[in-house]
Structure 1
Amino acid sequence: MEVGGVSNFCCSGSHSADLGAQYITATSSYAQSHHRFYSEPLSAGVLQPLDSLVEGLKYKDGNKDYMTPLGMGSMVKHFLSESGADLFFERHVTGLYRRGASWEVQWKAGGSEMFDAVVLTMPAPQILQLQGDVGHVLSVHQKQQLEGVEYSSRFAVALFFPPDSINGPGRGPSLVVHTSVPFGLKHLERDKEDVQPIILQELNKLLPGLPQPISIKCQKWRYSQVLTSVPDCPGHMTILHQPPLVCAGDSFVHSNFDGCVKSALSVLSVLKASL
């Protein structure tokens, strides 16, 4: 199994902060249909009930909010560790080539490997950028659907403070700032090093008494949340049945934890039928 992506959980000494999603909201419906995907990480301590107030959040009856003490990435790591799969990280996929009953996957760093089936979970625009035979096996309609997927873009900044600056001795506090969708769109093509001072300037206007941080981490999310997903999609798109080539992820459902689970379950049914 090949796993790629950028970690959204960063650490600085005794500090930590999550630059991705800050909490998970389970609707009453998903809490039932996806019960095991909540109960297992809760039992393992990976997931915890969110016991603090989120200002501006519209609470609905039956909804439950959760947080991850070690970052959202810990949920992924939990399920991967339970799967027993052999994992290989830091392999940037650049091309897919059909080789009879298999797929040859090529890496940016050079080299390739053969697979019986491939599941792509990167954002739709990156699927269309892949070299090789993906563009040849996509139907005109499928290509149009992928081209229609739209993402918001954001910047996130984590500030780490010394232990005695706010809460006294002990673990140092951290603060995470997420920019708005219009801001992300306006500054999308700028380097994060150029955008960070703008964000910090606005932050100091909102919180003028903020202590001086000991370190700062800025993250640019070119593909944040899906604004427009593939319409009427069951959570995946089968590009080729044999050898199986399936696209999945929030491009084909919606951008939250339950959307990811829904997409994964739909892919599982496809792979079981194909293999």
Structure 2
Amino acid sequence: MWISVILQADAHRAEALSEALMEHGALSVSIDDADAGTEAEKPQFGEPGMSPASLWDHSRVIALFDTDTDLATALATASAAAGLDVVPPFTVEEVAEQNWVQLTQSQFDPIRITDRLWIVPSWHESPDASAINLVLDPGMAFGTGSHPTTRLCLEWLTTEIQPGVSVLDYGCGSGILAIAAARLGAGEVTGVDIDEKAVETAADNAANNDVSLRLQVSAKPLEGTFQRVVANILTNPLKMLAPLLAARVAPGGKLALSGVLEAQAEDVIAAYAPYITLRVGATHEGWVRLEGDRPEQAVS
């Protein structure tokens, strides 16, 4: 059993209070939006290329303590260290000990992408042994198959991968799209990500699925062209990457982009217009998949 203490704080004091609580007995501390789930909820994390947002005006500092902690002393000392005259308003809840591994696993079931393709956590039996079953557990890198943008890209791969085609997955995260392409019959598959840890995760996931990927961090120059290029990132990075990604599509090749909200689609289409013509290929829960084709080179 542990004790969870939830304190109210503003954006100017939340971080200082969080640090002070850790220094005065808290086992862990997190900060979230006290207005979450209401009309006043404030998005915290912007996209690359945008100025970072400040902490929430109405923040909630959640600290976990052992049950034998002198809470009154710990809270008073931490509040004073954070420059507060009094302890902020707070509530206390008991947190029962649980099998956290079992609880986490229970939240992830197999995901049907199409009749042909499933995403299956390693602790589950496959619902359809005759389908292509990607073994993928939730982890630090983005991409478990549950997000609409990932699903949109996976659906595209199931229709656009022919045996032996070369594939580029730019912003590969967990490697789910690259692994799916390989399992669907692609030839050489390359995955690129800005995060070295994501590249390591993708390599582990590829090994678990018995496929071979060529993986690299985006700081390394990317050469060559590919018959299929897919990128599931965010709108601003996709716009900035337009020259690079369009140049990687081979003549006669195809491009698919996701991580784009419906309201952002025209901006992305405009960013790629000088290089390749995009269209909305599919939508799901407010997200879109943009698709484009590079014509075969004219024969002189």
TM-score (structure 2 length as normaliser): 0.22
Return the index of the structure with the highest Cα Rg. Answer: 2
Question: Which gives a bigger RCO, structure 1 or 2 (Cα 8 Å, sep 6+)?
Answer: 1
